[in-house]
Structure 1
Amino acid sequence: MTERRGEVYEALDLALRIGEVLLLSGAGAADVTAAMLAVTDACGVHNVSADVTFVDLTLRHQPAIDVPAALQVRRVTWRPVDYAELIEVDETVNSLVAGDITRREARDQVARIVSTGRSTSRRRAASWPRSSRSSPRPRSSRWIRRESSPRGSSCCWRESASWAPPRTP
């Protein structure tokens, strides 16, 4: 029973690691959930439920009513999106589900993908400063201000020739 329990935790951990990479790479919650459940199913762990939020991934497994549930949660921390990682992890999931690789091989591949890091060109591109277009205020010769809607919420920018920003001493 202990060895089987260890295998369950290894399968859940692999699914959570894969789910983390997918979620951070921009995949939707439904896609992440489906991938994690496919991984656990391919590893021989059935009766798994998944919960995906913006910051947490949770997997629960309870094979029978009289057996305590195995529960694992993984906190997702933000990092820049890397589509190369997404493609490699997706290929790993497909190979695992098809039975071409074992759980241990899939775990090793995911660890290699995540730990390899980014290429220099991607690092350099990500470190460039943002352009001035990313400011919330459009660039123009006229001042603009944020006005409230009739319902009281600030929702839109309007041009105003008479308004100027407060002066700082």
Structure 2
Amino acid sequence: MSTPSRATARPAPPSAEDIWRVLRRASFAVISHVTPAGAPRSSGVVYAEDGHRLFVAVGKDSWKARHMAVDGIVAVTVPIRRGGLLSLLFPIPPATVSFPAVAVVHSGDHLAGMPRLARLVPPSRRADCAILEIRPTGRFVTYGVGVPLRVMRDPSRARARVAVG
């Protein structure tokens, strides 16, 4: 039996902790859910990671706070910029981390104990915000995380499924 060549071997998947390190360094995500009326909705948000959860400040009367309070089932995708300076010259796609999650809506009072999130919210908006606590469930699905750029051209080698852990 022949062994796969280095060029075609599937890279070892990242660990859950590797993925959490990537999520800590990033700050932008797209959150998707279905509204109570059954319509799909997605929105870009800025987040802070703390204790293997993502936290997002939103307007307390916003559709995100209202709709996610109904059932809290969401999908999250975090794009991870790749390629450094090369990405300024060439169309290098971002790596991504996607996962299902449960979102819980908290009052804005939670900002007091979250300095990393609090600095993302202007002082003038703090009284009118709610905090989304996003807890990943199931598995992370990654594309291009922990693999060389050239491997990203082969989706079967660039993808991984990792238990949230």
TM-score interval w.r.t. the shorter chain?
A: under 0.3
TM-score after normalising by structure 1: 0.24
Greater helix share, structure number: 1
TM-score by length of 2: 0.24
Higher relative contact order (CA 8 A, sep 6+): 2
